[in-house]
């Protein structure tokens, strides 16, 4: 089961969120029929969005991440709710990029780095909050670190990883965000960096001991206290009613054409591949 664990150091100056997201990444792979490298790219964005979404702290709020780096995968869009349940879409799920190192999926190559990472936080009131930063490498974690530094002005260390097995299924996925809190001593950044280096690949730790092991490793020496654990999953919010109202909001000319053709209208959800069919009589 996928979960997010939030913790704070014993002295209250370091916070960390860790996530195990194997199920989320595997479901995304199945929904979209994604190639291994796109599974890794989309899985990393889903993992990041889930952790960030879980910090929204308002019921009904949502977070949308959009990445377009000009690579063969095309645009990636991921939406999270306020708990961290996520859904995602990628323009070209079967895209490939040659490996740069043996056995290492070239996520930066398939995403591209000529473009932006944008984040929209919608709290259901007034204007949504929007932030954006230029992509650094298309490898996702570095791009989010740059986003945090620019838009939220918080120095954060983060890692988001997806380990794809030989049969193309997801073997492990997840990551973390760790950051000093206001008032922390300067040396704390070095201590965090040491933990990041000692932890190594997040997916290897997750494979061995799940989210709890990852938390222990990244918060080593900080005496972490767990504040919250929540189950998260790949979850779409589409419904027949929503799609019908979307169809009804098409322009009058298009609706008229559909009525004249007299054929049922088929709509497919781009996040979960659910198909909804509407009869002409339902178009009012
Ligand atoms: Zn759906």
The pLDDT assigned to 194 comes to 97
DSSP the chain: --EEEEEE-TTS-EEEEEEE-HHHHHHHHHHHT--HHHHHHHHHHHHHHHHHHTT--STT-EEEEEEE-SSTT--EEEEEESSS-EEEEES-TT-----SBTTB--HHHHH-SSSEEEEEEE-SSSSPEEEEEE-SSSSSHHHHHHHIIIII----EEEEEEEE-TTSSEEEEEEEEEEEPTT--TTHHHHHHHHHHHH--HHHHHHHHHHHHHHHHHTTTS--EEEEEEE--B-----HHHHHHHHHTS-HHHHHHHHHH-PPEEEE-TTT--EEEE-GGGG-
C-alpha 7 to ligand 1 mean position (Å):
32
Query: What predicted TM-score, i.e. pTM, was given to this entire model?
Result: 0.94
C-alpha 273 to ligand 1 mean position (Å):
6
**pLDDT in tens for each of the 284 residues of the chain?**
899 999 999 999 999 999 999 999 999 999 999 999 999 999 999 999 999 999 998 999 999 999 999 999 999 999 999 999 999 999 999 999 998 888 889 999 999 999 999 999 999 888 899 999 999 999 999 999 999 998 877 789 999 999 999 999 999 999 999 999 999 998 999 999 999 999 999 999 999 999 999 999 999 999 999 999 999 999 999 999 999 998 888 888 888 888 888 888 899 999 998 999 998 888 77
Span between the terminal Cα atoms of the chain, in Å? 43
Domain residue ranges in the chain: 3-231, 240-283
C-alpha 275 to ligand 1 mean position (Å):
8
The pLDDT assigned to 103 comes to 80
Q: How many residues are there in the chain?
A: 284
C-alpha 218 to ligand 1 mean position (Å):
35
CATH topology of domain 3-231: Hsp33 domain (3.55.30)
CATH of domain 240-283: 3.90.1280.10
C-alpha 77 to ligand 1 mean position (Å):
13
């Amino acid at each position: 089961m996928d979960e997010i664990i939030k913790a704070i150091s014993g002295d209250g100056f370091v916070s960390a969120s860790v996530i195990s997201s194997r199920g989320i990444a595997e479901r995304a792979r199945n929904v979209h029929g994604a190639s291994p490298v796109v599974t890794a790219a989309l899985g990393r964005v889903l993992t990041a969005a889930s952790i960030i979404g879980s910090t929204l702290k308002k019921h009904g709020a949502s977070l949308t991440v959009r990445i377009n780096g000009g690579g063969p995968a095309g645009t990636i869009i991921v939406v999270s709710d306020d708990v961290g349940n996520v859904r995602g879409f990628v323009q070209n799920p079967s895209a490939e990029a040659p490996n740069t190192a043996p056995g290492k999926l070239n996520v930066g190559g398939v995403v591209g780095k000529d473009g932006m990472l944008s984040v929209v936080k919608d709290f259901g009131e007034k204007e949504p909050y929007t932030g954006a930063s230029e992509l650094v490498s298309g490898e996702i974690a570095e791009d989010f670190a740059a986003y945090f530094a620019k838009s939220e002005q918080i120095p954060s260390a983060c890692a988001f990883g997806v380990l794809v097995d030989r049969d193309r299924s997801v073997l492990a996925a997840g990551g973390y965000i760790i950051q000093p809190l206001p008032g922390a001593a300067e040396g704390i950044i070095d201590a965090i960096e040491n933990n990041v280096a000692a932890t190594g690949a997040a997916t290897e730790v997750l494979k061995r001991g799940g989210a709890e092991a990852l938390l222990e490793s990244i918060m080593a020496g900080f005496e972490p206290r767990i504040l919250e654990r929540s189950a998260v999953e790949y979850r779409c919010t589409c419904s027949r009613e929503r799609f019908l109202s979307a169809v009804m909001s098409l322009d009058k000319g298009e609706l008229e054409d559909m009525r004249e053709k007299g054929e049922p209208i088929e709509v497919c959800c781009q996040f979960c591949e659910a198909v909804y069919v509407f009869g002409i009589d339902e178009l009012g």
